[in-house]
Structure 1
């Protein structure tokens, strides 16, 4: 069984969010702390349909997120356990913290788009 402790992970600071990440047997584990409101529609640009196609499982430990789908949206708050199927765009309230599990190969594609958009927003240009 693969395990880790949050205290063993060093968070990366991206301004609006801090994310600590590790990989456990083919699944990426993200510990996310939102320091400013975040609408992921900007960060997901360039993916097919500008939406996330990676499924995620997790728990919101503080705060709240709203997840938009083509036909509806769902609000997930502190203490809620969630499954986000492919085809979503989340927004996060300030102060939100969550632990999220995602298939690593699918998450890699999403992370590449997020980092590309982060660099563009920061004025660094495309990689």
Structure 2
């Protein structure tokens, strides 16, 4: 069994009001701790992925803020205190200062994190 805290998890993306920490926790899954300032839109950093959207599924809990999730089918709003599932094909935009933790397949989340880092250059 593996456990970690936000502070123990390494920063994998940082800049422009965004901090992403990810760590493999075993079983083919990784944990992601994200903090993002109001107005942070990850859509531009996802350009170049299929449909210009994140293709990694995420299961998580929104601890603070509000997030608008854009998909090919429209938009949904998520608020503090909600557990969520964001399936493949989404782009988050932070409506308020936001903090969440999610769990995702390690291989998929690493692909997206690498892409986002390259886009943010």
- Partners in 1 of 2:58 and 2:73 — Cα distance? 19
Aligned residue for 1:48? Answer: 50
> Superposed, which structure 2 residues align to 1:63-78 within 5 Å?
63-78=65-80
Point out the structure with max Rg over C-alpha.
1
Deviation, 1:32, is: 0.8
- Write out the 4+ residue segments of structure 1 that deviate beyond 4 Å after TM superposition: none
Compute the RMSD of aligned alpha carbons.
Answer: 1.6
Conserved? CA contact 1:57–1:102, under 8 Å:
yes
Deviation, 1:46, is: 1.0
Aligned residue for 1:6? Answer: 6
Contiguous gaps of at least 5 residues in structure 2: none
- Partners in 2 of 1:75 and 1:92 — Cα distance? 10
Q: 1:27 to 1:97 in 2, by over 3 A?
A: same
Deviation, 1:113, is: 1.3
Deviation, 1:10, is: 4.7
Q: TM-score, structure 1 length as denominator?
A: 0.85
Deviation, 1:6, is: 2.5
Q: Number of paired residues?
A: 119
* Bigger share in strand: 2
Q: 1:64 to 1:27 in 2, by over 3 A?
A: same
Q: TM-score, structure 2 length as denominator?
A: 0.88
Contiguous gaps of at least 5 residues in structure 1: 120-127
- Partners in 2 of 1:9 and 1:106 — Cα distance? 18
- Partners in 1 of 2:53 and 2:21 — Cα distance? 22
Q: 1:58 to 1:16 in 2, by over 3 A?
A: same
Describe the SS at the equivalent of 2:7. helix
Aligned residue for 1:59? Answer: 61
Describe the SS at the equivalent of 1:82. strand
